[in-house]
A = this chain, B = another copy of it.
Amino acid sequence: MIRTLAVVGTGLIGTSLALAAARQGVRVHLLDSDPCAVRTAAALGAGLPGPPPEPVDLAVIAVPPSLVATVLAQQQARGLARTYTDVASVKYEPERAVLARAPDPTRYIGGHPLAGRERSGPLAARVDLFQDRVWVLTPSRLTSRTALDRALSLIGLCGAVPLVMQSKAHDDAVALTSHVPHVVSSLMAARLGAGPPQAARLAGQGLRDVTRIAGGDSRLWSDILQANAGAVAGVLTDLQADLADLLTALRDLAGPADRRSAHSLAAVVDLLDRGISGLGELSTALPGRPAQLASVRVRIADRPGELSRLLAATAELGVGPEDAQVRPADGVRGDLTVRLAVPAAVSGPLLARVTAEGWEAGTEADGHPACVA
């Protein structure tokens, strides 16, 4: 349970968690090397500017990874708080430095809320920034139970979901899921500066999505990449090997058709397919994914727009075209069978709905393959 909180570093993350804690009735004290940042955060209602009169329950060190240990040691020497955590997106190096330099490492637990925005600074802060987001805690071998409990209280106040990991495992994971994606986004965005004049007019949502995170603060991100350089370089080295193979294949495919290796196109397809299965890894981790699917089969007559009418009727049950497969129906020529893959719980209501609309429907039995995937 936290009654008083200090936030050292009133940037996006520090100010956002201060807003969340303050809204929950916690007395929050705001510190930053930039007095204007502190006053902006205070003017947003994130807390009181300046240090607390006596040690607070928990202090959050919200500074770049390379500064965590130094700032923590300074503040602990001053007796800012009884326990400490941080929010740096790299955890192993800061932990090592804290164990080596902090007056009392037992009062510290590493933390990393997985939330952020392209914009930085207190003005970008949002009280709900951490709502339902994963917030990793990385206790060291010395971390006290009290430090863990207070960090868990803060995570609760912010509406986030705690996940306890070892600092090294955390850094390997975020190298793959956060740091390398940022590098890849920057590598792509950096190319845009050298593009032909009309290129930007041909930019679509795909390019915007791939390059969105490249807009992040370059000093903060270079600090993050430096603090996790080993793990990031490891993933990038594998990516570099894939890129080299792909370039070999593309250069071959760019040459005269009669001299192309049959392997080149296969190499391109292979990379794209490995990307698609990689996305599978991601989606299986998505929360709320239906474990069990049921199939509902609907027969529709050969009338223009009949399929659209069916999909309109199923839409309000959250069943869309992405759940549908179409194949020729047995019997009457031209009729179609629409197979709808839905969460088991939905199949009953769906059956009721479509039969009520006059369509012949049932649950899927045979394994007849659909001809439209």
* A interface residues (Cβ-Cβ under 8 A, vs B): 34, 36-37, 39-40, 42-45, 47-48, 114-116, 119, 121-124, 133-134, 136, 163, 165, 169-170, 172-174, 176-178, 180-196, 198-204, 206-216, 218-219, 221-222, 225-226, 229-230, 232-233, 235-240, 242-244, 246-247, 250-251, 253-254, 265, 268-269, 271-279, 281-282, 284-285, 300, 302-308, 321-322, 324-328, 334, 336, 371-373
Contact = CB atoms under 8 A, between A and B. Distances in A.
A304 B250 contact: no
Contacts of A180: 188, 191
A268 B226 contact: yes
B181 A184 contact: no
A278 B207 CA distance: 12
A328 B36 CA distance: 7
B306 A201 contact: no
Contacts of A193: 274, 277-278, 281
A204 B212 CA distance: 13
Contacts of A281: 192-193, 195, 200
For the residues of A in contact with B, the DSSP-based class is: helix
A191 to B, nearest CB: 6
A111 B178 CA distance: 38
Contacts of A190: 239, 242, 271, 274-275, 278
Q: Within the oligomer, what is the number of copies of this chain?
A: 2
A304 B272 contact: no
Given A43-B305, A236-B243, 17 more contacts: A36-B326, A37-B372, A39-B336, A44-B305, A177-B207, A180-B191, A185-B210, A186-B271, A186-B274, A190-B242, A191-B239, A192-B278, A211-B282, A219-B269, A222-B268, A226-B268, A233-B254
9 contacts: A43-B304, A44-B305, A119-B322, A172-B199, A184-B187, A193-B278, A201-B285, A209-B209, A210-B210
Nearest to A37: B372
Contacts of A213: 206, 209-210
Given A36-B371, A202-B174, A250-B225, A276 B169 contact: no
